[in-house]
């Protein structure tokens, strides 16, 4: 190879990490990986993993009885959230986008408040923007639709507040911001080398579980890919709900819709044919996977609180995790709040709310039980089609942008 010719491996690396991917590409790949997770065991979720991390933290310092807590390295979803952060970290390093970004104090406070609200919303609603929306809707859960509606209302109200704050109290979130360790143009090769080290670490962690727990190995590999893909495509659910009403942009929404369509097809096939089910009882259990007992009130309340929180924080469950790996300190505070408050909310607040609500407000609603598989599938497709039409129409007309 002459000195003037480009190295094809360098070209390939630049293709993946030289610029951000379209959000719809990230959505499609994440949808496919979500289907793969379900085929292996169960779909993508984040709140359970964050709760497990918090439980282990409190068990370590003696706040909770550690004997009843599953270790993080033995919990599929605990490892999932850790590896999403590591995958995002490697993606940010490979693209030389990692930096410690410290926003003004007011923004960090909002990150913590938003994370606290997300912790409450996820535990009350039995799921977050991933588990009860991105995985719950394709799982044909009626409760997931209610959670989504509540989350949407929460996003709109929080967005109205943020606009009011920006216009009337700009000093609350203004001030100095700092950036450390950012790569300069044509420099920062250390980030790529560190990214390789992180990638090797992920492979070693995955391989260490191969003989004892192959399901965990797959969860680790897929989670690392999810973190990297989310970071490269800027995949974020709060962006898909918020941006049409702020800037009018639809890219985030289209990316999420694409992922939902792929997941819907894959989940429906798995459930309809009982792929992975063992016996008749196993068939029903497979159908009810990711259909939580939260219809209707628990889902609505939880979704609303979660929508408030993710808008104030500026990141949903997955958006928070990949931004943590990218070095955005505001979202570190959000993640910290979720880890700290999810265990307490799960133990004390959720039983209180469950004791108040009647059983009719917290049961499993599996749409095919009422509409059949064809009717349930068609309902989700129509709703996603209406969402797509709205964001594209609004992008063109600006009718609802910035209210």
In a domain, 178, yes or no: yes
Residues of the domain holding 295: 21-397
> What are the backbone angles phi and psi of residue 295, rounded to the nearest 5°?
-85, 125
140 vs 142: CA distance, rounded Å: 6
Q: What integer pLDDT is reported at residue 1 of this predicted model? A: 47
Most distant pair of Cα atoms in the chain: their distance? 75
In a domain, 38, yes or no: yes
**Is 219 in contact with 80 (CB distance < 8 Å)?**
yes
28 vs 40: CA distance, rounded Å: 19
**Is 79 in contact with 216 (CB distance < 8 Å)?**
yes
* Residue 40: both structure tokens together: 């292996």
- Per-residue pLDDT in tens (0 to 9) along the chain, 403 residues: 445 566 888 888 988 999 999 999 999 999 999 999 999 999 999 999 999 999 999 999 999 999 999 999 999 999 999 999 999 999 999 999 999 999 999 999 999 999 999 999 999 999 999 999 999 999 999 999 999 999 999 999 999 999 999 999 999 999 999 999 999 878 899 999 999 999 999 999 999 999 999 999 999 999 999 999 999 999 999 999 999 999 999 999 999 999 999 999 999 999 999 999 988 889 999 999 999 999 999 999 999 999 999 999 999 999 999 999 999 999 999 999 999 999 999 999 999 999 999 999 999 999 999 999 999 999 999 999 999 999 999 999 999 987 6
Q: What integer pLDDT is reported at residue 278 of this predicted model? A: 86
**Is 299 in contact with 147 (CB distance < 8 Å)?**
yes
Helices vs strands, H then E, count in the chain? 16, 4
Q: Is the peptide bond before 296 cis (omega within 30 degrees of 0)?
A: yes
Other beta carbons within 10 angstroms of residue 375's beta carbon come to 11
Q: What integer pLDDT is reported at residue 333 of this predicted model? A: 98
In a domain, 14, yes or no: no
The count of domains in the chain is 1
In a domain, 16, yes or no: no
In a domain, 26, yes or no: yes
In a domain, 13, yes or no: no
Q: Is 379 exposed, middle or buried (0-12, 13-18, 19+ CB in 10 A)?
A: middle
Q: What integer pLDDT is reported at residue 7 of this predicted model? A: 82
Q: Is 374 exposed, middle or buried (0-12, 13-18, 19+ CB in 10 A)?
A: exposed
Q: What integer pLDDT is reported at residue 185 of this predicted model? A: 78
In a domain, 258, yes or no: yes
Q: What integer pLDDT is reported at residue 4 of this predicted model? A: 53
pTM: 0.96
* Residue 191: both structure tokens together: 């980030």
In a domain, 291, yes or no: yes
Q: What integer pLDDT is reported at residue 166 of this predicted model? A: 93
């Amino acid at each position: 190879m002459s000195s003037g010719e480009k190295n094809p491996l360098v070209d390939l690396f630049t293709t993946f990490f030289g610029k951000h991917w379209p959000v719809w590409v990230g959505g499609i790949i994440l949808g496919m990986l979500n289907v793969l997770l379900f085929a292996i065991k169960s779909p993508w979720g984040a709140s359970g993993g964050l709760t497990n991390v918090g439980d282990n933290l409190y068990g370590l310092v003696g706040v909770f009885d550690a004997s009843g807590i599953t270790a993080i390295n033995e919990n599929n979803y605990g490892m999932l959230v850790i590896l999403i952060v590591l995958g995002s970290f490697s993606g940010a390093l490979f693209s030389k986008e990692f930096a410690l970004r410290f926003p003004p104090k007011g923004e960090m406070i909002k990150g913590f408040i938003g994370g606290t609200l997300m912790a409450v919303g996820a535990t009350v609603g039995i799921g977050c923007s991933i588990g009860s929306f991105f995985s719950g809707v394709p799982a044909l859960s009626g409760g997931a639709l209610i959670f989504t509606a509540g989350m949407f209302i929460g996003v709109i109200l929080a967005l109205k507040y943020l606009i009011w704050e920006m216009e009337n109290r700009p000093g609350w979130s203004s001030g100095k911001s700092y950036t450390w360790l950012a790569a300069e143009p044509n420099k920062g090769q250390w980030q790529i080398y560190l990214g390789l080290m992180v990638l090797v670490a992920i492979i070693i962690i995955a391989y260490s579980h191969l003989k004892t727990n192959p399901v965990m190995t797959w969860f680790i590999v897929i989670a690392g890919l999810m973190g990297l893909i989310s970071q490269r495509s800027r995949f974020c659910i709060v962006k898909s709900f918020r941006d049409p009403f702020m800037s009018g942009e639809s890219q985030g929404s289209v990316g999420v819709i694409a992922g939902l369509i792929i997941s819907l097809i894959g989940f429906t096939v798995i459930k309809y044919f009982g792929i992975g089910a063992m016996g008749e009882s196993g068939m029903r259990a497979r159908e009810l996977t990711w259909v939580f007992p939260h219809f209707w009130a628990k889902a609505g309340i939880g979704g609303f609180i979660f929508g408030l929180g993710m808008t104030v924080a500026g990141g949903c469950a997955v958006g928070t995790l990949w931004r943590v790996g990218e070095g955005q300190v505001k979202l570190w505070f959000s993640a910290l709040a979720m880890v700290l408050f999810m265990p307490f909310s799960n133990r004390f607040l959720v039983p209180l709310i469950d004791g108040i609500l009647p059983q009719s407000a917290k049961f499993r609603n599996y749409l095919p039980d009422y509409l059949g598989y064809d009717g349930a599938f068609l309902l989700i497709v129509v709703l996603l089609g209406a969402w797509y039409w709205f964001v594209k129409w609004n992008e063109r007309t600006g009718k609802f942008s910035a209210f």
